[in-house]
Amino acid sequence: MRALKSFALLRESWVGMAGVFIVAFWIVMAIFAPWIAPFDPLELMQPFAKPGVEWKGGGTFWLGTDSLGRDILSRIIWGSRTVLIYAPLATICAYTVGIMMGLVAGYRLGWWDTILSRISDIVLSFPVLVLYVIVIATIGASGINIVIAITFASAPGIMRIVRGLTLDLRNRDYVAAAQTRGESDWFIMLVEILPNARGPLIVDACLRLGYVVITIGILGFLGLGLPPPDPDWGGMVNESRSLAMAFPHMAVFPCIAISSLILGFNLLADGLREISLRD
């Protein structure tokens, strides 16, 4: 019910709606990939085909094929699955860790706060990508390790936001009422404080989701992403980079796909911010 109401509010901002449409488009692509994609993304057919070339075996390569002869359109459609599984997963993990740390630091204060804040200061003093490269180099490149690296690098930023919000909310009357009732610390943090801090967090989550998509793309581009055979947008750009001068279509279409998805998340965040500023 509440979700329906906020969706109705979102409809008033065309920026937010544009974001919803782009994101929904890619989600549909990801869910129905086996039915939408014209070819198997791993099948080796005709190498170096330009966009629009017809295949002897039937069907057309609408976006051409890569250097191994795999259909680019199918790989993009299947690649949306990879991105839309790992990006939200990494964001959720980062948020779980960040929210826990932030709530404890902001609510308990004292040495909890000191230690958690120092840890986050240390992590935040690294340039993000340098941190990702170091973490991935240490634990190896795989889907789960990407999630771990992103959680490790972005939880401190989330922790700071949550800590700031908690510092503001912990002096409210309803928190004092809960303390007087004798509720446990965790009940107060999770049931009283967290739901009241959700507004800024939802907007930030949307923006961060966009950043995580960028990160997964960049890691793929640097060769630190998912292992090769799986279709992955960043990896597709990486594989075709050396051929980009002669066959730009191999790199351009995955780039358009990833940019549009990030644009969708950013527009969605803008729309949500507009709404949250209004009331």
Partner 1 sequence: MVSITSVITTSIPEFASAVFFITIFVFGLKWLPGTSTMANGFDPLQLVLPVMVLVIYDFGYVARMTRASMAEVMTTHYIRTAVLKGLPYRRVIMNHALRNALIAPFTVIMLQINWLLSGVIVVEVAFAYKGFGALLLEASLNQDIYVIEACAMVAVFVAVGTQTLADIGYTFLNPRIRFS
Which residue from 45, 190, 252, 275 is in contact with partner 1, where contact means CB under 8 A? 252
Asked if residue 277 binds partner 1 (CB under 8 A), the reply is: no
Least distance from partner 1 to the Cβ atom of residue 107, Å: 27
Q: Tell me the CA distances in angstroms from 177 to 106, 132, 214, one per residue in order.
A: 18, 43, 43
Distance CA 71, CA 48 (A): 10
Asked if residue 152 binds partner 1 (CB under 8 A), the reply is: no
Asked if residue 84 binds partner 1 (CB under 8 A), the reply is: no
Within 10 angstroms of residue 257's Cβ, the number of other Cβ atoms is 23
Which residue from 42, 126, 152, 275 is in contact with partner 1, where contact means CB under 8 A? 126
| Cα within 13 Å of Cα(254), Cβ side | 33
Least distance from partner 1 to the Cβ atom of residue 251, Å: 5
Least distance from partner 1 to the Cβ atom of residue 247, Å: 9
**Dihedral angle computed from the Cα positions of residues 231, 233, 234 and 238, in that order, rounded to the nearest 10 degrees:** 70
Least distance from partner 1 to the Cβ atom of residue 244, Å: 6
Q: Which two tokens stand for residue 153?
A: 């690098």
Q: List binders of partner 1 among 226-245 (CB under 8 A).
A: 234, 237, 241, 244-245
Pick between residue 170 and residue 249 the one whose CB is nearest to partner 1: 249
Asked if residue 218 binds partner 1 (CB under 8 A), the reply is: yes
Which residue from 129, 176, 177, 191 is in contact with partner 1, where contact means CB under 8 A? 129
- Determine contact, residues 95/158, Cβ cutoff 8 Å: yes
Asked if residue 139 binds partner 1 (CB under 8 A), the reply is: no
Residues 6+ apart with CB under 8 A from 251: 236, 237, 240, 241, 243, 244
SS3 annotation, 30-73: HHCHHHHCCCCCCCCCCCCCCCCEECCCCCEECCCECCCCCEHH
Least distance from partner 1 to the Cβ atom of residue 270, Å: 7
Asked if residue 150 binds partner 1 (CB under 8 A), the reply is: no
Site residues (vs partner 1, CB under 8 A): 125-130, 133-134, 136-137, 210, 214, 217-218, 221-224, 234, 237, 241, 244-245, 248, 251-252, 255-256, 258-259, 262-263, 266-267, 270
